Amino acid sequence: MGHEVVVGKPRLLDRVSAAIRVRHYSHRTEEAYVFWIRRFILFHGKRHPSEMGAAEVSAFLGWLATDRKVAASTQNQALSALLFMYREVLRIELGPVEHVPRARVPGRVPVVLGSQELRLVLERLSGLPRLVVTLLYGAGLRLQECLELRVKDIDFERGEVTVRRGKGQKDRRVMLPQAVRSDLSQHLDAVRRQHHADLAAGQGRVVLPEALARKFPGAPTEWRWQFVFPAGRICRDERWGPPSRYHIHESVIQRAVTTAAREAGVTKRVGCHTFRHSFATHLLEAGYDIRTVQELLGHADVGTTMMYTHVLNRGGLGVRSPLDRL
């Protein structure tokens, strides 16, 4: 008989989580990898992955593409999770994964808001969601990058925000918009008061990557390590050790943006990433060099940044129609 994987509390998935944390991958990556490995195991009737190989991986990926009709990026994420499990946890050389129906990559252009649309949406946001969204648009941040900012990452004197371990585990610096500095400063004053109250109550810890917490035992209670956008309550999840304060959940901002866009009467599909798309497009419209925009966005390849040229009045769409010359 083969090894049966008990999905309720699987030892294999615990090993996967441990391997991910040792490599300092993000919590979201851990959640995604564990999810896809669990789906893979269930798809094959709870067989242990050590008893399977490239053929079973191909069958699973093909099912995702043909039956589940997932996006190409989703299929690639599932493949990355399985490759990680085999290489880094099971230490098995999987070999080439062949004959996989590939999910189609849609040729979509990003949704971009005009200046008036941006104003209408921002007018319907208030408090913390408005502050977060102004940073998403004003600095071109991804939502998770913004929520994971620490106090030490905000430099008011230099007018900079440092994004730590962004997509691809890369750091980068972006501008701190002048228009948001006053509100952000007042917000941090309130966060500091909350932190002092936590300390007085014997709390005041913040979640840190495991290696940092071990190397600097006092860091979790230091002000500079606190999240800029902390959660409203203490987290008592065993994964993070002692009771700690995490950052607010992304769904709080996502719901606020959806509601604001609907109330503003914007017919475009607006999500948190729309503000990053708008940031990049508006910079290019203002005449900034595409390499500069690439650096601010943290794109490894300028080809990724080039997609924003498709929504500019340049190239083929920027040509004046001969009809208008008559």
Is 33 tagged catalytic? no
Query: Half-sphere exposure (CA, 13 Å, Cβ side) for 319?
Result: 5
- Establish if 320 belongs to a structural domain: no
User: Is the same domain home to 173 and 76?
Assistant: no
Find the catalytic residue in 38, 47, 152, 167: 167
Task: Answer for the pair 12, 89: CB distance below 8 angstroms, yes or no.
Answer: yes
Give me the pLDDT at residue 287, please. 85
For position 124, which CATH number holds? 1.10.443.10
Looking at the domain assignment, is residue 228 inside a domain?
Answer: yes
Q: Enumerate the β-bridge partners of residue 174.
A: 161
Helix (H, G, I), strand (E, B) or coil at 284: helix
Establish whether 167 is a catalytic residue: yes
Tell me what pLDDT residue 9 has: 47
What is the rounded distance in angstroms from the CA atom of residue 325 to the CA atom of residue 7? 68
| Per-residue confidence (pLDDT) for residue 129, from 0 to 100 | 96
Determine, yes or no, domain membership for 3.
no
Q: Which of 205, 276, 277, 282 is catalytic?
A: 276
Query: Any residues with CB less than 8 A from the CB of 209 and at least 6 apart, and which?
Result: 24
User: What are the C-alpha distances in Å from 22 to residues 32, 170, 171, 186, 212?
Assistant: 16, 17, 19, 37, 12
> What pLDDT sits at residue 208?
82
Q: State yes or no: is 192 an active-site residue.
A: no
Cβ-in-10-Å burial (0-12, 13-18, 19+) of 293 comes to buried
Mean pLDDT by runs of 10 across the 326 residues of the chain is 46 89 80 94 93 91 88 88 93 81 66 93 95 95 94 94 78 91 96 94 83 80 95 75 85 96 95 94 87 86 78 53 54
Same domain (yes/no): 163, 277 = yes
- The pLDDT assigned to 6 comes to 43
Among the options 130, 205, 245, 299, which is catalytic?
A: 299
Structural domain contains residue 316: no
CA 235 to chain centre: 20
Expressed as residue numbers, the domain containing 85 is 11-89
pLDDT reported for residue 104: 61
Known catalytic membership, residue 170: no
Q: Is 245 among the catalytic positions?
A: no
Helix (H) or strand (E) holding 256: helix 250-264
The reply to whether 299 belongs to the active site is: yes
- Are 203 and 61 found together in one domain? no
| pLDDT at residue 107 in the model | 57
Residue type, 104: R
- The beta-strand segments (E) located in the chain are 154-155, 160-163, 172-175
Is the pTM for the entire model greater than 0.85? no
